[in-house]
Structure 1
Amino acid sequence: MKIGYVRVSTLEQNTMRQEIAMEKLGVTELFIDKISGKNTDRPELKRLLNFVRKGDTVIVESISRFARNTKDLLELIEILKSKDVEFVSEKEKIDTTTPTGKFMLTIFGAVAELERDYILQRQREGIEIAKNEGKYKGRKRIEKSNLNTLLNKVRNGEITATKAINILKISKSTFYRRLNEQ
């Protein structure tokens, strides 16, 4: 069975181009994630790994859609290999049933990882420039009208921090940061 995996980084991005490519390749089962590829904690990827059986072939449009770092890529390929499942990347023309394909997979995996590192570096540089120009101030501070009252109650032992967090509907880190600021 030919099984396709499609991934885009955000919910807003369109998967149609990859889906059309999968259809042309004769994929009979398709798994689609709309989440970052920075790690393997992706719901549809997990479903795919549980779904595949001996003799199946997993097909992706490009390696960067499957994994963004070499370690994750090689671990995923090892999982597929342990299930006697082949892997094909259409863009890079990689087929893991051959020694050359395995070698090329490692090279392209390293390139995908480098690409992700470059993206993160450019993002950090852009944020730094924006900060220096006063255009970037980070996330807006959460303001709750009853925050100070609840912080005082926690300090006085009248309620627990957990209860205050639940009432305020804020994260633990935000709560404790605000507690420490006072």
Structure 2
Amino acid sequence: MKVGYVRVSCGETQNTARQDTLMAELQVDKIYTDKMSGKDASNRPQLQSMLDFVREGDVVVSESISRIARSTRDFLSIMDKLNQKGVTYISRKESIDTSTPQGVFMMTVFAALSELERQTTRQRALEGIAEAKKRGVYKGRKPIAIDAGKFKSVYTDWKAGKITAVEAYKKLGISASSWYRRVKDYGNRGATL
């Protein structure tokens, strides 16, 4: 089945006519249309419905990549979902067809660019933190405050085998890593937090 995805931003003067005409030319069987910003893929109900609907062997068509996704990360996430379902994607404007070697190559390029963007952002953040530490203005995140009496009670129950570690950190409202860090600190200090 050939499935079309059409999107225009809410409040734009443009309408879907041009994209609808393209879908008719391509003899698309079913069309999903969102009239809203493409900024966040998870907040586009018709996109989510389309991703739920498509099955192995289907083809998803959009006028351009910018209609289906507004960021490389969103685009790759959507392509991953389609790929896992065995669905081909075609972008008319960019001439991308993921059923061809050239289309797969383009996906690889997009993935590499996205990874470069992530690593560059991470590197800048680490450099910024290092610089802030030099100036003495970066202290890191403050630890989550936990009532000492409550921690001791939960710790004692966990140590006695009355509850699991999962139950313990859920009772305290902290993550697993925070729980184990606190347990280690508690054990090293004897009976103080």
Are the aligned partners of 1:57 and 1:87 in contact in 2 as well (CA < 8 Å)?
Answer: yes
Residue among 163, 166, 169 paired with 2:170: 166
Are the aligned partners of 1:3 and 1:57 in contact in 2 as well (CA < 8 Å)?
Answer: yes
Are the aligned partners of 1:89 and 1:95 in contact in 2 as well (CA < 8 Å)?
Answer: yes
Distance across 2 between alignment mates of 1:117 and 1:67: 16
CA shift, 1:66, in A, is: 0.8
Larger gyration radius, structure 1 or structure 2: 2
Give the direction of change, closer, same or farther, for the CA distance of 1:34–1:50 in structure 2 (3 Å limit). closer
Match of 1:179 in 2: 183
Match of 1:57 in 2: 61
What's the CA shift string for 1:104-142, capped at 9, x where partnerless?
A: 443343223222221222122222222332222222111
Distance across 1 between alignment mates of 2:184 and 2:108: 47
Distance across 1 between alignment mates of 2:92 and 2:125: 28
Distance across 2 between alignment mates of 1:116 and 1:131: 23
Give RMSD over aligned pairs.
4.3
Distance across 2 between alignment mates of 1:129 and 1:108: 32
What's the CA shift string for 1:57-92, capped at 9, x where partnerless?
A: 155315603128xxx95x556447x33x333286xx
Match of 1:86 in 2: 89
**Could you tell me the TM-score, scaled by structure 2's length?**
0.56
Matching residue's letter, 2:90: F
CA shift, 1:180, in A, is: 0.8
**Which structure 2 segments of 5+ residues have no match?**
21-30, 187-193
Percent same amino acid among aligned pairs? 27
How many residue pairs get aligned? The number is 157
Residue among 12, 30, 33 paired with 2:41: 33
**Could you tell me the TM-score, scaled by structure 1's length?**
0.58
Match of 2:75 in 1: 66
Match of 1:157 in 2: 160
Match of 2:189 in 1: none
CA shift, 1:56, in A, is: 3.1
Residue among 126, 129, 143 paired with 2:128: 126
State the structure with bigger RCO (CA 8 A, min sep 6), 1 or 2. Answer: 1
Distance across 2 between alignment mates of 1:28 and 1:156: 55
**Which structure 1 segments of 5+ residues have no match?**
6-15, 36-43
CA shift, 1:178, in A, is: 0.9
Match of 1:8 in 2: none
